[in-house]
Structure 1
Amino acid sequence: MSAVPWSDLLHAYGPATTLPRTLQRAASNDPTVAARALDDLYATVYHQGTVYSATAPAAGVLCDLASAPDVHHRPRILELLSDIACALRDLEAQDEDEHAPDVHADLTRWAHDARAAVAAGLPGLIRLLDDADPSVRAAVPFVLADFPEENPAPLLRVKCAAEEDAGAAASMVLAAGDLGSDLGWLRDRTRDARREVRAAATVALLWRGTDPDDAALRALTDEIQAAHSALDGQLWVLDGGRTTFLTAALDDRPGPQIRLARDALAVPDPAAVHRAGEVMRTWRAAPAELLPPLAELLTGSGEIARDAVWEIKHGGPAIALVADALAPLLDHPDDLIAGSALEALARAGDARAVPALAAELAAPRRAFDPAPALAGAHAHGDALLPALRAFLAEPVKGTGFAGNLLAGVLDGLAGWDERARPLLPEIVSVLERRKAVPSAARALASLGPAAAGAVPALRGFLGRRHGRPASEGAAWAIWRITGDGDEPLRFLRSALRSGLDDDAAENLYALGPAAAPAVPLLEPLLEDPTGASGAAAVVHRATGDTDRLLPHLVDAVAATPAGMLAVRGLGAIGPAAAVAVPAVREIAESPRVLAAGIAADHAYRTVAARALARIVSRGAR
């Protein structure tokens, strides 16, 4: 180490003059000192996935440390070596334009050197397959799997046959499978007496593209439901835990993924609950399958019940399937459980949420988000009007979770459209008292011409002195209410020139032809990837210029707020938009959740299905 010219080399924070001391501390007899040194090494020689000129010589030292029996945290050292070795692959996966050419050349050279340094240490690392510490024997295959060109799979198979530790043997199976070992050998491992090895072999077979049968799913389920496993804490499972690692192996197989997530809930722990939520947010068929077993956990321990009801409230329309299990929780003493139950029922439009929502407006206790709750309860608006009138007259502060309760209530009312009309005087009064102005403006905008009486009050917030959110919110509301963009555009022009965010695009699209004054500002955005989606939809709706804008609309289709405006525009065009059918059909019929959230995805799916029906109405699908 002393022969290395460290001061001439770089790490993430400049010259690597202190790196020798950090490497010495990594070899400290004190495990706390050694752990902190490893943290420092991750921050300097492998900073957020980037390696430097000092990384290669540091990797050589780390290989020596990993081979020293008295050094602490050797599995973590091996993890760092794996990360360093993979930096080149990760860099090659990036767009070259992400860095200046000279910077990219330096990064590439350093990544090559760093990988070569780890490769040079492989003979010593291979000897660790016979180390006395099983955690080290389990970590080494993780590194070897990064070097398929060295063909370590045959050696791993030999070592696995003699390995007595279940965790180390499972790691060898995973590495051998990742390196492309014979399917027959992997299938033989699925009959191993050790549960972890059977699960590892099943994962390896799935990586190789084999279809899971009942025995494979059983092997994964047994491993997921085990209270303890030799896989826990291994490098393979650090990113997300054992349950996530095992279920992720099923990749693009929704049925088995859902089944495995459901089976994992039979022995519930937070990881299984969170994984069920991830699967629901991935596959459209999952909420109907996973919400019922999640609801069975609502009577369990506090942590499990809190996690379960949190996932349930994000479950979209299928929440209705478990409404009966949620209703008794409205009076739960845990404010988070009670609040999540209230929000879930309200999102589902369940009338049993109405008394609790009214009580929250008078005396907040539960932890919930009022905006989606009130938006979901729109069908019960008449029953909520007395409580809403009283609240808007004298707003009370919400819980810390709810943030600004008044703003949340107004944002929820913005989703009521005409149903909020009876509350118009109260919303105007809130605006006149200068409270939650952007949210009050959104609620008034949603009422359109019916809110004409609010225009004088809204005009009072135009201009920079009131702050950009208030000024722009008032301008949009005036435009939506009056249909006249001349005055509002004076206060929106600067924002529109700099880009078109989702809120602006939706406001303009709602204006239809009345958005015409904004078209000259939007035309340049049609060639800007960051604003083209919304601009294409708005300009088309304002001008009706299908011939010119159809290609832009097709390119803009996506499961995003702006992308769905394009879908709506294509649906309005009808059969002439047939070229968009594949993109629109993907949103309507994909098995995957495509949007950022289950409820939004369901809404997008409905919009896309309607648009698709209009486009193909005169021809066969």
Structure 2
Amino acid sequence: MLQDSPSPVWDTLDHHYGPAGDLPALIARCAGADPETADRAFGELHNKVFHQGGAVVSAAPPVLPVLLGWAADPGCRLRCGAVRLIGSLAKVGRQAAPRFVTPAWPAAWDGAVPVLVELLDDPDPRVRREVGFPLAQAVRAADRVLPALHRRWQVEEDEAARIGLVMAAGQLLRHLDGEWPAESVDWLLSLTARHEPAQRLAGAVALRRSGLGGRDARHIDVIAEALGRSDVGPWVDAWCGPHRPDRLAPQADAALGDDRAGRVRLSTLLLTGPGGPGAPGLWTAGEVMSRWRSPVDELLPRVADRLADPDPEVRTLAVELVAACGSRGVPWADRLAELARAPEPAVALGALHALSGIGDARVVAPLAERLAAGDPATAFASRGLAHFGCGPTLTRLLEPLRAHADVLLPLLIGRLRAARTRDERRDLVLLLAAWGPAAAPATGELLRLVGTEAEPWALDALVAVGTAPAREAVRAAGPDGPPDAGPGERHRVAVRYWRASGDPEPLLARLGQESADLLPGLVAELGPLARRLEPRLRERVGPRERDWNQVDLAHALWRITGTPEDAHATVVALRFALPGEAGIGRRAERSIARIGGIGPDAAGAAPLLRPLLTVDRRPVPGQGVSAIADDDRLCATVGRTLSRLG
């Protein structure tokens, strides 16, 4: 096959890193005899031809026959990797906009499909487990691929391969524009009545993904039974399965899409069914509660029941999910206080996080003991997201506890002195900055960090602390920064200097430069002091869809002028920013909070913001269970803004 393929002029083609003239030598190394060298070369080939997806480059069509040759060669150790790479390219070719797909790809892909269909009968089950992935992308050849999948399923003995055949058929039907073949429809509909639990699960998930069978409640029962009672090992080996068994429940749950009632029912069955495991139910409950608001009242008590589960992993997930729900965890405060001293660090930290979120003072003593003991589990980076199963971050755990600074602050200062890594030192300083004046006793320790690599964070924290020695230290650092500071650092220094000294001139001079980025939030903070910047701001104002920067620009102008016209312009900008917004993130939330400062002159914003409080689908970007806390914070911000608007 490869000998019959015309040799491309590689230098005229491109991969993701530039001209493709280096690919022939790289392909030769992939085919070499040394396994380690071949694996490294294939990884490099994968990166250059596929990278992170998003486009099919011009080098992909001539590489495709090479990959097919490896996939079909029983003696090639790269067979499975080649099939996966073909599938990845085919998926991008199907999903990406035409301008991101090289014109030669469709014909090359059409020619590859028959070779892949032949691999359905390959003697190696590992290859048969993978080949469903690329074939699931062959929508234009569905009339040939679907019968081949069904034929192979009738004789296939490998359970993981059978699952892959079913899921490939479901995906093909989902994206098929023409009439669905009756034979394929009957095949998928019959699977939920099969004896084998893994096949019933595959059938139910495929039916939901393809849209076949609608929202039949029986699908939920099939999925719950399979997840609760069957061996999910074959799913991990299938191309369509998760990398870990414990991720199968969220994957099956995600196949239910917008069927909120079905997903709540699945979570309930997994949490409460006889003999059902707790962890899958907690994973699915976390996914559902992070997407919609209304399921929390129904699912949270069932989640809390798992706080007493004998399995530490289940208790960890349960306590993290209760913590994510903030003040709604109050009914289980006593149990959380007990778990705060659990021997398993993950359980204890989750309970501390939950107690912190509900403002329960019983968080202080066990947390203080851990900080005093130098517990490494309380020294983790604050910049991570609170994904389910990852535990609380330092900032999320301690930021709400500034009222207990008299007990906790000396311990944090001790941790800061003993910090051995840059990350831990930064996170502790950022936490002190978040505590603001409550961290005033830490002024001396922050001053000791001036002149070290932690100086920028320390100076920001000193500004937030606001003591006289802190302000003097920032003023002494001057408004310009070190001689080798870049423009961004010089800008931050000027902001810091103004906040500490009250002198805005160095900052205004920087903002007045034509090349300077006018940060509307900062200009708004300056208010009337920034009047000289008004002409440049007005040049940039103009409604643009989904542009929160326009909201902030209009608000900054109002802060300068105080006129009703600029207040109204802020409302108009908000109307443009809200429709179609993928998620109201921190950036947009800050914009909404600023509108509240305008007061009754911006009352027209109220009917635009009220729906954010009444929708069931959480209007925040999805980030696992952190979306629950993010949504709670958004609701609080919107509520305060509406109150201020009158």
TM-score using structure 1 length: 0.77
Counterpart residue number, 2:292 = 283
Counterpart contact for 1:447–1:481, Cα < 8 Å = no
Counterpart residue number, 2:208 = 206
Structure with the bigger RCO (C-alpha within 8 Å, sep 6+) is: 2
Counterpart residue number, 2:557 = 539
Identical-pair percentage: 28
Counterpart contact for 1:362–1:396, Cα < 8 Å = no
Deviates more, 1:599-608 or 1:13-22: 13-22
Q: How does 1:471-482 map to 2 (within 5 A)?
A: 476=495
Counterpart residue number, 1:115 = 106
| Counterpart selection for 2:146 from 146, 150, 153 | 153
2:525, 2:532 → 1: CA distance?
14
Which string of whole-angstrom CA distances, capped at 9 and with x for unpartnered residues, describes residues 22-64 of structure 1? 5566567887666545423312332332444332222123223
Q: Which amino acid aligns with 2:561?
A: T
Q: CA deviation at 1:308?
A: 5.8
Q: Which amino acid aligns with 1:170?
A: I
Q: Which amino acid aligns with 1:237?
A: G
1:46, 1:154 → 2: CA distance?
30
Q: CA deviation at 1:279?
A: 4.4
Q: 1:22 to 1:332 in 2, by over 3 A?
A: same
Q: 1:90 to 1:394 in 2, by over 3 A?
A: closer
Q: CA deviation at 1:74?
A: 3.4
Q: CA deviation at 1:427?
A: 5.2
| Counterpart selection for 2:93 from 59, 79, 88 | 88
- Tell me if 1:74 matches 2:83: no
Q: 1:603 to 1:16 in 2, by over 3 A?
A: closer
| Counterpart selection for 2:377 from 350, 363, 367 | 367
- SS for the counterpart of 1:179 is helix
Q: Which amino acid aligns with 1:235?
A: W
Q: 1:427 to 1:440 in 2, by over 3 A?
A: farther
Which string of whole-angstrom CA distances, capped at 9 and with x for unpartnered residues, describes residues 472-491 of structure 1? 66765675688774465456
Deviates more, 1:70-79 or 1:486-495: 486-495
Counterpart contact for 1:486–1:517, Cα < 8 Å = no
Which string of whole-angstrom CA distances, capped at 9 and with x for unpartnered residues, describes residues 214-255 of structure 1? 421122223334343322222222578533431221122334
2:360, 2:348 → 1: CA distance?
15
Deviates more, 1:479-488 or 1:194-203: 479-488
2:476, 2:259 → 1: CA distance?
56
| Counterpart selection for 1:550 from 550, 558, 571 | 571
- Tell me if 1:221 matches 2:221: no
| Counterpart selection for 2:357 from 331, 344, 347 | 347
2:532, 2:614 → 1: CA distance?
33
Counterpart residue number, 1:40 = 44
| Counterpart selection for 1:63 from 43, 59, 68 | 68
Which string of whole-angstrom CA distances, capped at 9 and with x for unpartnered residues, describes residues 430-466 of structure 1? 5554556666666676688xx6786444422332335
Which string of whole-angstrom CA distances, capped at 9 and with x for unpartnered residues, describes residues 148-178 of structure 1? 2222324433443444443333323222222
Q: CA deviation at 1:323?
A: 3.7
Q: 1:472 to 1:444 in 2, by over 3 A?
A: farther
Counterpart contact for 2:474–2:500, Cα < 8 Å = no
Counterpart residue number, 1:242 = 248
Counterpart residue number, 2:435 = 413
Counterpart contact for 2:130–2:238, Cα < 8 Å = yes
Q: How does 1:11-30 map to 2 (within 5 A)?
A: 11-13=15-17, 16=20, 19-20=23-24, 23=27
2:371, 2:528 → 1: CA distance?
39
2:420, 2:311 → 1: CA distance?
23
Deviates more, 1:330-339 or 1:540-549: 330-339
Counterpart contact for 2:528–2:559, Cα < 8 Å = yes
Q: 1:517 to 1:439 in 2, by over 3 A?
A: farther
1:494, 1:305 → 2: CA distance?
56
2:187, 2:157 → 1: CA distance?
18
Q: Which amino acid aligns with 1:546?
A: A
Counterpart residue number, 2:390 = none
Please report the RMSD computed on the Cα atoms of aligned residues, expressed in angstroms.
4.3
Q: 1:64 to 1:473 in 2, by over 3 A?
A: closer
1:316, 1:496 → 2: CA distance?
44
1:605, 1:193 → 2: CA distance?
48
- SS for the counterpart of 1:193 is coil
Q: CA deviation at 1:92?
A: 0.9
Counterpart contact for 1:345–1:352, Cα < 8 Å = yes
Unaligned 5+ segments in structure 2 are 174-179, 379-392
Q: Which amino acid aligns with 2:618?
A: R
Which string of whole-angstrom CA distances, capped at 9 and with x for unpartnered residues, describes residues 318-372 of structure 1? 4445544432343445555544433332233121112234445655325334433
Counterpart contact for 2:70–2:78, Cα < 8 Å = no
Q: CA deviation at 1:584?
A: 5.0
Counterpart contact for 1:203–1:249, Cα < 8 Å = yes
1:48, 1:327 → 2: CA distance?
45
Counterpart contact for 1:295–1:322, Cα < 8 Å = no
Unaligned 5+ segments in structure 1 are 94-103
Counterpart residue number, 2:638 = 608
- SS for the counterpart of 2:377 is coil
Q: How does 1:205-604 map to 2 (within 5 A)?
A: 205-209=207-211, 210-225=213-228, 226-238=230-242, 241-261=247-267, 266-267=276-277, 277-285=286-294, 289=299, 293=303, 296=306, 313-320=323-330, 322-333=332-343, 335=345, 337-359=347-369, 362-365=372-375, 367-368=377-378, 369-378=393-402, 381=403, 383-385=404-406, 387-388=408-409, 396-397=417-418, 402-404=424-426, 406-414=428-436, 420=438, 424=440, 426=441, 428-430=443-445, 432-433=447-448, 455-465=471-481, 476=495, 485-486=504-505, 489-490=508-509, 497-500=516-519, 505=521, 519=534, 522-526=537-541, 529=547, 531-544=549-562, 545-557=566-578, 559-568=584-593, 570=595, 572=598, 577-578=603-604, 581-582=607-608, 584-586=610-612, 589-592=615-618, 594-595=620-621, 597=626, 598-604=628-634
Q: 1:525 to 1:444 in 2, by over 3 A?
A: farther
Q: Which amino acid aligns with 2:160?
A: G
Q: How many residues align?
A: 585
